Chain A
């Protein structure tokens, strides 16, 4: 609904701003301590993307020092809304200015998880949403940060601290294993080394789920100069990271060895070693999984989908199709160009990690 988003962004947003910000203020005042804002929205349709972006901007203006995390659902590649690529470009470029971090879920990936890992035959949005909720729960449920003796009081803040060290790099991805159907779960046994090995390879090889992982991809050998490293990585489709956060929940969690994620070869060369990787743990099991491991990462894994979206949007823009729908609500061609430029910049930054 950026298609109807721009009415949302330009018309409905301002119209309802006062009411919405009023509601927010009441909730904020009730808090002893404001941890931050967690906004959830889709990027393809109208209300989510338009209204969501507008509200995020309002929140940023009203609460300049609060953390704002936006969870954004990326649409199916084969189309849910025809102007989804325009909406995505406009949303992401605006969110980058007001939000602290953008946590991405791709409908295609979640759909595949439902189909291939959960064995659901007729997948409904309820199933898709359940998977997303599980993944988010695995991040936001209480846990102990490193060396802490109490549960973290400020998960949003801790998340930002670990993941977003540079304002140019705000795109976060989530991988959570294991994920399987009830029936399979009854017959499965998990070990921390096994789970961590899979997660690490999923990160390196840019696998979105625990199936079809390419075990051939390896991190580059140490000591390569940055330029050569880049070519090496591109050839092997190696996914370079900026930051990684492991969240481990379940039995014997203290014994889990996360050393594999501290390997400097996984990270971009301009980061000082040791800062890029962190781990949260709790012995409490999560959602009927005896052991559950989540990886939140700021890496190149969204580069290809982002490039795809921008490419398609640009092609459409070249023919000016649908642009009149936006200009009639106040989004000019210059605004489009600004958004495209912002995203090309983000793509370039992530490419050269």
Chain B
């Protein structure tokens, strides 16, 4: 989102896809810029792109480089720590490109592999059989209660499996707990202290419906859900696990915790825009006008406001809506 090609060409393609194939769902993974982005105009690019994403994408999975870096470091630390019995299977880590194109490992490969693995898990139900299949369109349908609020926090577990087969594999329940830990999220945010609008659990491997139900029951009390969606869980079971694992879990949460990310984006945008800094580069281009900027800004502001309104309901005791009265 920070650079030009991604934010510009990427969202242009999004628009073209919408025109050509209006009935097909558009799910977008976007990398959001970190605070110390080396592209100075990244706030402009990001906010302009955000408007396109809000209006033309059906579902967005934001990713932050810093989270990917943290995960890579965690895995590297585990593999180099040399703790007895803690040796991990290299091919099983989510940063390995096992099964992909062989060759010199390029920079960013490890980080990109995480996102690739996330996408593989997302599409697993469409590619393999399972007892509870979940198509891509079901993701949009179930996780997007209001058209603009389609930004989902993703978290992946496990990050690796242990090589030593004598060590019992980490309990299945641990996998579910990890999915709700900040260490496994692909963006920095705090879902447990914000409001869940909906949550999807895409499970792969040797997991049965009873395991799923048990863990949902267990985790539910600690996760704040919006009043009208107290049991807002969407579940998918695919029988084929990823390479090197016996099971895996991708959790997608529609949670108001993305709001701070957007607010930060908005603030960084305003810092530059107030001074009209670097604006002339954009306005030289045919078709770009100042109104593009102000419209993009207001689109982002209304998005933040929508999240605010939902957050305001958090913790309030909501009375049930009055039911229809039928004459007997």
User: Residues on A close to B: CB < 8 A?
Assistant: 1, 3-4, 7, 46, 76-83, 111, 114-115, 122-126, 128, 310-312, 314-322, 324-325, 340-341, 344-345, 347-348, 352
> Of B142, B143, B216, B228, which contacts A78 at CB under 8 A?
B216
The CA-CA distance from A128 to B233 in the complex, in Å, is 20
B146 touches A321 (CB 8 A): yes
Q: Do A78 and B217 touch across chains, with their CB atoms under 8 A apart?
A: yes
CB-CB under 8 A from A311, the residues of chain B are 320, 323
B147 neighbours in A (Cβ, 8 Å): 324
Which of A46, A77, A78, A312 counts the most chain B CB atoms within 10 A? A78
The chain A residue sitting closest to B206, CB to CB, is: A122
* A318 and B232 form a contact (CB under 8 A): no
A122–B324 contact, CB under 8 A? no
Q: Which of B224-255 contact A (CB under 8 A)?
A: 227-235
Closest approach, in angstroms, between the C-beta of B267 and any C-beta of chain A?
Answer: 29
Distance in angstroms from A353 CB to nearest chain B CB is: 12
Contacts A4-B141, A111-B210, A341-B326; A319 near B228 (Cβ below 8 A): yes
Q: Give the chain A neighbours of B295 by CB distance below 8 A.
A: none
Whole-angstrom CA separation of A124 from B320 in the bound complex: 35
Q: Is the CB of A111 within 8 A of B213?
A: yes
Stretch of B7-15, B132-140, B157-165, B285-293 contacting A (4+ beta carbons < 8 Å) = B132-140
By the criterion CB–CB under 8 Å, are A321 and B328 in contact?
no
Contact B142 A344 (CB under 8 A): no
Decide if B233 touches A79 in the complex (CB within 8 Å): yes
Min Cβ gap B196→A in Å is 11
A352 to B228, CA, bound (A): 29
List A contacts of B228 (CB < 8 A): 315-316, 318-319, 321
A114 to B210: give the CA distance in the assembly, Å.
10
Asked whether, in the complex, the Cβ of B229 is within 8 Å of the Cβ of A316, the reply is yes
Report yes or no: B143 in contact with A82, Cβ–Cβ below 8 A: yes
Residues from chain A with Cβ under 8 Å of B140 in the complex:
325
Bound-state CA distance A46–B220 (Å) is 24
Q: Do B138 and A312 touch (CB < 8 A)?
A: no
User: With A314-B323, A344-B324 in contact, is A124–B233 under 8 Å at CB?
Assistant: no
Whether a CB of chain A sits under 8 angstroms from the CB of B145 is yes
Beyond A315-B227, A315-B321, A345-B326, 10 extra complex contacts between A and B, CB < 8 Å = A1-B141, A4-B135, A4-B138, A80-B234, A123-B208, A312-B230, A325-B141, A340-B324, A341-B324, A344-B325
Nearest CB of B to A96, in Å: 15
- Among A312, A317, A321, A345, contact of B231 (Cβ-Cβ < 8 Å): A312
Counting contact residues on chain B (CB < 8 A from A), the size range is 35 or more
Q: How far is the CB of A49 from chain B (nearest CB, A)?
A: 13
Q: How far is the CB of B115 from chain A (nearest CB, A)?
A: 25
Given A124-B131, A315-B228, A324-B147: A82 in contact with B142 (beta carbons within 8 A): yes
Query: How far is it, in angstroms, between the C-alpha of A80 and the C-alpha of B213 when the chains are bound?
Result: 9
Counting chain B CB atoms within 10 Å of each CB, which of A80, A123, A124 scores highest? Answer: A80
Question: Judging by beta carbons under 8 Å apart, are B235 and A80 in contact?
Answer: yes
Contact B141 A3 (CB under 8 A): yes
A347 to B211, CA, bound (A): 34
Measured in the bound complex, the distance between the Cα atoms of B251 and A107 in whole Å is: 23
B198 at the interface (CB under 8 A from A): yes
List, in ascending order, chain B residues with CB within 8 A of A7's CB.
137
Docked complex Cα distance between A316 and B145 (Å): 10
CA distance A144 to B174 in the complex (A): 54
User: Nearest 7 pairs between A and B by C-beta?
Assistant: A318-B321, A321-B145, A123-B210, A3-B141, A79-B231, A79-B233, A82-B142
Cα–Cα, bound, A11→B99 (Å): 39
Say whether B144 faces chain A, with CB atoms less than 8 Å apart: yes
Given A79-B233, A344-B324, decide whether A125 and B227 contact each other with a Cβ distance below 8 A.
no
Q: Is the CB of A78 within 8 A of B233?
A: yes
B209 at the interface (CB under 8 A from A): yes
* A124: chain B residues within 8 A (beta carbon): 131, 208-210
Look across to chain B and name the residue whose beta carbon is closest to the beta carbon of A318.
Answer: B321
Residues of A within 8 A of B325 (CB): 344
Of the A-B pairs whose beta carbons lie under 8 Å apart in the complex, a sample of 5, sorted by A's number, is: A3-B138, A46-B141, A322-B144, A322-B145, A341-B326
Complex Cα gap A4–B23 (Å): 13
The answer to whether A348 touches B326, judged by C-beta atoms less than 8 angstroms apart, is yes
Which A residue sits closest to B147, measured CB to CB? Answer: A324
Chain B, residues 287-326, CB within 8 Å of chain A (1/0): the string is: 0000000000000000000000000000000001101111
Q: How far is the CA of A79 from the CA of B213 in the complex (A)?
A: 9
A312-B231, A316-B229 given as contacts; is B208 within 8 A of A122 (CB)? yes
Q: Flag if B137 contacts A4 (CB, 8 Å).
A: yes
In the complex, chain B residues whose CB is within 8 Å of the CB of A79: 216, 231-235
| Most chain A beta-carbon contacts within 10 A, residue among B198, B324, B325 | B324
A93 CB → nearest B CB, Å: 13
Instruction: For A81, list chain B residues within 8 Å (CB).
Output: 138, 142, 234
Contacts of B233 in A (CB 8 A): 78-80, 82
Inter-chain CA distance A128–B137, complex, in Å, is: 27
Contact across chains for B209 and A128 when beta carbons are under 8 A apart: yes
| CA–CA, A324 and B217, complex, Å | 29
Determine the chain B residues whose CB is within 8 A of the CB of A325 once the complex forms.
Answer: 140-141, 144
Q: Which residues of A contact B135 (CB under 8 A)?
A: 4
| Residues of chain B lying within 8 A (CB to CB) of residue A316 | 228-229
- Write the nearest CB–CB distance from B22 to chain A, whole angstroms: 11
Residues on B with beta carbons closer than 8 Å to the beta carbon of A111: 209-210, 213
Minimum CB–CB distance from B264 to chain A (whole Å) comes to 27
Q: B110 to chain A: closest CB distance in Å? A: 34
Question: Within the assembled complex, what's the spacing in Å between the Cα atoms of A77 and B320?
Answer: 18
Closest CB of chain B to A32's CB: distance in Å?
38
CA distance A79 to B211 in the complex (A): 14
